[in-house]
Amino acid sequence: MRRQLNTLYITTEGAWLKKHGANIVMMAEGKERARLPVHMLESLVCFGRVLVSPPLMGFCAEEGITITHLSPNGKFLARVEGPVSGNVLLRRAQYRITDDENGCAGVVRHVLAGKVHNQRAVVARGLRDYGSKLEISERQRLERTKTRLGRVARDLLNEPLTNGLRGLEGEAAQTYFSIFDSLVRNDSKAFRFTGRNRRPPRDRINALLSFFYTLLTHDCRSALESVGLDPAVGFLHRDRPGRPSLALDLAEEFRPLLGDRLALSLVNRRQLREKDFVVAESGGVVLTEDARKKVLTAYQERKREELYHAFINEKVPIGMLPILQAQLLARHLRGDLDAYPPFLWK
């Protein structure tokens, strides 16, 4: 199995990254602040005003290390990468299937079934951890949501059309996020959740979810490129200039695990507090610089944990799951697998 490599996140404003031998060196205020061997990395993510020297850019391109620039709030700005790898025959198969209704629906069906199953697992985990502390009516509401998500997951497997699948996904999302506030066990009014919103997020929970989803999409894009698929041509998310549609597709089944559940854990354990967020005059909410570092550390630690993968019948680090699923998707598109097997969180 491929060895799990690290992602280096640079959050220091005004940092200067340069190459020294086979190392990346970070300079800030004229002093060396960090040094890391390149062979340990698969990508470099820079938040805000971070400068990268041309020699380091070229070296990362040669070594297959992507450099991604995000705004301080996590919005994608640019990406620097070397020559695109991959089998042209695999990409041709990908393009053909995205244009075929039956083939496209086959992939979307299993991606969304995995997503809804994993949303149900988040609700089930909340009931297990906090069910005894909930009021009877609230607990019954969560039980009904768990049952309804299970039904939608089954209905997805029997829906033949892509538009019908999107409709079922919308039903599941509305059901799931309608009870999400009950899973937030932090008494502070600052962490109340009334529904999903973004661009910009207008409350602290949504700001945290959007930040995690950005990190996850970056990881999924890298995973797809590593197996030779085109991250811009998706099945569920249709083509749009500049959008990594297939990366967004692949991220769907991991959002409950690496986004929703991790956000809930940080808030419920009081690892994040009201002061860790800034509310702009426009109403948008963003993480502070210190909070971003805290969230990135939690995300990396979560990726090192292991979970059982039913299809390959072994435990794997969570950080390897996007790569494994990208490989399984490639095998399906090549015709080696009858269907794409999504990751199902137990």
Task: Identify the CATH homologous superfamily for domain 6-80.
Answer: CRISPR-associated endonuclease Cas1, N-terminal domain (3.100.10.20)
CA-to-CA distance for 313 and 127, rounded, in angstroms? 27
Beta bridge partners of 10: 46
Tell me, what DSSP letter sits at residue 133? G
pLDDT of residue 124: 94
pLDDT band at 84 (very low <50, low <70, confident <90, very high): low
Greater model confidence, 300 or 133: 300
Where along the chain do its domains lie? 6-80, 88-334
pLDDT at 170 over 80: yes
| DSSP state letters, 8-72 | EEE--TT-EEEEETTEEEEEETTEEEEEEEGGGEEEEEEESS-EE-HHHHHHHHHHT-EEEEE-T
CA-to-CA distance for 114 and 279, rounded, in angstroms? 34
Q: Average pLDDT for residues 262-288, to the nearest whole number?
A: 90
Task: Identify the CATH homologous superfamily for domain 88-334.
Answer: CRISPR-associated endonuclease Cas1, C-terminal domain (1.20.120.920)
Q: What is the pLDDT of residues 243-257, one digit of tens each?
A: 899 999 999 999 999
Least confident of 115-119, 146-150, 163-167, 185-189: 185-189
φ, ψ of residue 244 to 5 degrees: the values are -80, 75
> How far is the CA of 247 from the CAs of 214, 221, 273, in angstroms?
11, 5, 31
Closest CA to 80 of 109, 103, 104, 46: 46
pLDDT at 62 over 90: no
* 104 neighbors 94 (Cβ within 8 angstroms): no
* Length of the chain as a residue count: 346
pLDDT of residue 125: 92
Q: Is the pTM of this model over 0.75?
A: yes
Average pLDDT score over the chain: 89
pLDDT at 60 over 60: yes
Other beta carbons within 10 angstroms of residue 179's beta carbon come to 17
pLDDT of residue 242: 78
What's the burial of 9, exposed, middle or buried (CB within 10 Å: 0-12/13-18/19+)? buried
Q: Based on C-alpha coordinates, what's the Rg of the chain?
A: 20
Least confident of 100-104, 115-119, 134-138: 134-138
pLDDT of residue 14: 86
pLDDT at 343 over 90: yes
